[in-house]
Amino acid sequence: MDDRKPVKCQQGQLIITKDEPSAEHEKINIDKGRFCSIIEKVTSQSVLEEHFKMIETESLILDKAKFSDWKEMYCNVWSRPESAKYMVWNINTSEENAKIRIIKTIKFQKEHDTYLVYEKSSGKAIGFAGVEKIEPYIYQEAGICLGPDYVGKGFGKQILQGLIQYCKEEFGAKEFIYSTREENRASNQLAKSVGFTEISSVPKTDSKDGHSYNLLQYSLKL
């Protein structure tokens, strides 16, 4: 049984009281402003987490990652060179690295509108996707990636349309931005099939191998 008395707050001090034979009260002085800032941050994060909602499409569910997803993500996405071809990340080469990555993913997803993609029929984690705010009422996709075994099934279009609808309903978004490399033909076709219009082309350098490419940006007015 834990004999410690409840934690008490007094005038900007956090006092932890212990019951021990020769116990003296231990006082941990905490700056009141800093303490309030910590509480505010935790509260804000809780509100942020409560705001996130599961996104459902005809064949998919976009939801927050769980540690148990590490193996499916490793097998279906993170270890597959095809998945990383147009992305900024490198593939995972071991299961241990995949476990570390899922822990980082879970932590990141607690503060961002990013999700793993699950196939409804199998329940398997097959990719990831997300959105982010770039200006008032303007949102963009924060990366959409599917494992190579799940490409060509119309899942990419479902994800993109689901993210757009989510931003429109939850945030009142008036514009959605989609970015992709010019060389990624499938991704460019996806943007056009949903009704996006190309608005810019920016020269970039691949951070993995140093080759040059053009990043195309598309816009969809909502």
Q: pLDDT band at residue 52, thresholds of 50, 70 and 90?
A: low
Structure tokens at 62: 């976009």
Task: Look at the alpha carbons of 72, 73, 77, 80 in this order and tell me if their dihedral is positive or negative.
Answer: negative
Structure tokens at 32: 């009141």
Q: How far apart are the first and last CA of the chain?
A: 58
Q: In the Cβ-directed half-sphere of 73, how many Cα atoms lie within 13 Å?
A: 28
Give the pLDDT confidence score for residue 89 in this predicted structure: 85
Query: Could you report the per-residue pLDDT of 105-131, keeping only the tens digit for each?
Result: 999 999 999 999 999 999 999 999 999
How far is residue 123's CA from residue 173's CA, in Å, rounded to a whole number? 30
How far is residue 179's CA from residue 187's CA, in Å, rounded to a whole number? 9
Give the CA-trace dihedral at 129, 133, 139, 140, to 10 degrees. -40
How far is residue 86's CA from residue 5's CA, in Å, rounded to a whole number? 56
Q: What are the sequence ranges of the domains in the chain?
A: 8-47, 53-221
Topology of domain 53-221, per CATH?
Aminopeptidase (3.40.630)
Residue 24 pLDDT exceeds 90: no
Query: Could you report the per-residue pLDDT of 149-160, keeping only the tens digit for each?
Result: 999 999 999 999
Query: Could you report the per-residue pLDDT of 57-112, keeping only the tens digit for each?
Result: 999 999 999 999 999 999 999 999 999 898 888 898 899 999 999 999 999 999 99
Q: What is residue 201's three-state secondary structure? A: strand
Residue 45 pLDDT exceeds 60: no
How far is residue 102's CA from residue 119's CA, in Å, rounded to a whole number? 18
CA nearest 76: which of 61, 87, 58, 91?
A: 91
Q: What is the mean pLDDT of residues 186-208?
A: 95
How far is residue 89's CA from residue 152's CA, in Å, rounded to a whole number? 22
Non-local CB neighbours of 74 within 8 Å, separated by 6+ positions: 92, 95, 98
How far is residue 181's CA from residue 213's CA, in Å, rounded to a whole number? 7
Length of the chain as a residue count = 222
> Which residues share a beta bridge with 146?
127
